[in-house]
Structure 1
Amino acid sequence: MSNFTRRDAIGTTAMGVAGVAIANGATARASAQGASRVAAFAGKHTPRPLRFDPKKLAGLSERLITSHWENNYQGSVRGLNTIETRLAAAMADPDYPTVAYAGLKREELHRTASVVLHEIYFEALGGNGNPGGSIYEALDGWFGSFEAWEEEFRRTAMSLAGGSGWCVLTWNAHTRSLHNYWAWDHMHGAVTGAPLIALDMYEHSYHLDYGTAAAHYIDAFMANLDWEVIDARYRANASQARNASNL
């Protein structure tokens, strides 16, 4: 499956424009090499390995998971590294065009969010789909019942089917509440929101197995969730909120 989408083409164009501006001589490139050693622009992100055997997921094929992990996720890791090194070069060049810098900053956000969301997505898979723990009780309380939460989560996900984006169960640290958020283009998450579950609704995440039948893909995703991982994420964030309230 090709992982080059229209979104990638737009990003590549933006990076291409930035690349033209960067190529302003050996002095700027030498300065960029020094700037690239700054941690913020290091460009040294590495992919996280899968924590489960992709052959053993129910309803999600090894081919689908491997393609998603190798092409889409790792493509975002590589893209983020490229963007960071180009930001380093731009910071070393006092004459770097503002319009080109704006494109780099947008791509930095896009690629960063894609990497984070993909890692949250993959790390919550490999379970039996049976919910439990503190997160179960919390969802039951916030939504009236766990089943009501799941229905709303699925409805939010299906609102993105055929398009692009993520359905994200989020702990909002500011309001100290749980919500299902609609996150388009990797970037439209709630401020202070900590993702607990991230469901990729881009077609690359399910088309190989399900074509356009996104609802069946959601069924398979839910059946493979590891709720111990999700519960640990929730407890860590809720604990931080309690500690902050005691300061």
Structure 2
Amino acid sequence: MTTIDRREFLTTTSGALALAAFATDTNALTSTGTLMSTQPSAFSSIHERQALPFNPSKLDGLSEKLILSHWENNYGGSVKALNTVKQKLLAMQQDANLPAFIYNDLKREHLMRTGSVVLHELYFGNLGGHGKADTALQKALTDAFGSLATWEQEFKRMGAGLGGGSGWVVLGYNLHSGLLENYWQWDHLHAPSATLPLLVMDMYEHSYQMDYGAGAAQYIDAFWLNIHWDTVSTRLDKALKMREVWLAGGAR
């Protein structure tokens, strides 16, 4: 499994169906679309920081210094924090008298750190390319948005709206509705249900301040120059196959 595949394997919405559809080994599925392999422990599993799938010195308009700082400090910090939170949650299972509100404070942190890790891995995973979307992806975006230009305009406009603050812009495929849409995410905690991210753009200031200061629009243009379109296409292909499993499983 490649670095990008490992990253995508960790990034689906909920349940075994999501994991199964992004797995590269189709033998992991039964005839009913369920996952046969044993699931990792919810409490004791440790997340490892994923290597960058590209050479950070080769990006166009995004400096190596920026990318490495982002990867090591922001993404790396979230990986460490997530593992710490999970260790605390494991220890708390032994305390039957622990107040629920205290436990839930840590679960909120768990949700936030998980979101940060997943979104950062998807973000780095869709960088390192150039050129433009292939014909199939262009057709899918044109079908969904009326034209490729309309989709791009909305995606970039949403990013500009988040400039100077925080959040993510995500092109996602919703397994429940079958819709391909752009989603606005203010933070790591909230995302549309049953949606697989296909293209992720980080709009937290740490993703561009070192290179562009407050110039979020310049960062968005630089991001566009470095999209790894093959990765976006692969994610869409997997999402479309996954919806077949989702529907076959009786999700309604």
TM range (shorter): 0.7 to 0.9
Cα distance per residue 1:196-240 (max 9 Å; x no partner): 111110000000000000011000111100110000000001112
Point out the structure with max Rg over C-alpha: 1
Cα distance in 2, alignment partners of residues 180 and 120 from structure 1: 15
**Letter in structure 2 aligned against 1:230:** V
Secondary structure of 2:162's aligned partner: coil
> Which of 75, 87, 96 is the matching residue for 1:85?
87
Contact 1:43 1:80 in 2 (8 A): no
Cα distance per residue 1:135-165 (max 9 Å; x no partner): 2211111100011000000011111111111
2:133 paired residue number: 131
2:122 paired residue number: 120
Q: Hey, which bits of structure 1, 4+ residues long, moved more than 2 A?
A: 242-247
Percent identical residues = 48
Cα distance in 2, alignment partners of residues 246 and 79 from structure 1: 37
1:162 paired residue number: 164
Structure 2 residue runs of 5 or longer lacking an equivalent are 1-39
Q: Following superposition of structure 1 onto structure 2, how do residues 1-247 of structure 1 map, counting pairs within 5 Å? A: 39-245=41-247
TM-score (ref. length: structure 1): 0.82
Equivalent residue pairs, number: 210
Contact 1:133 1:228 in 2 (8 A): no
Alpha-carbon RMSD: 1.3
Cα distance in 2, alignment partners of residues 107 and 136 from structure 1: 38
Cα distance in 1, alignment partners of residues 190 and 58 from structure 2: 32
Secondary structure of 1:39's aligned partner: coil
* Larger mean Cα displacement after TM superposition, 204-213 or 85-94: 85-94
Contact 1:169 1:198 in 2 (8 A): yes
**Letter in structure 1 aligned against 2:212:** Y
Cα distance in 1, alignment partners of residues 159 and 58 from structure 2: 24
TM-score (ref. length: structure 2): 0.81
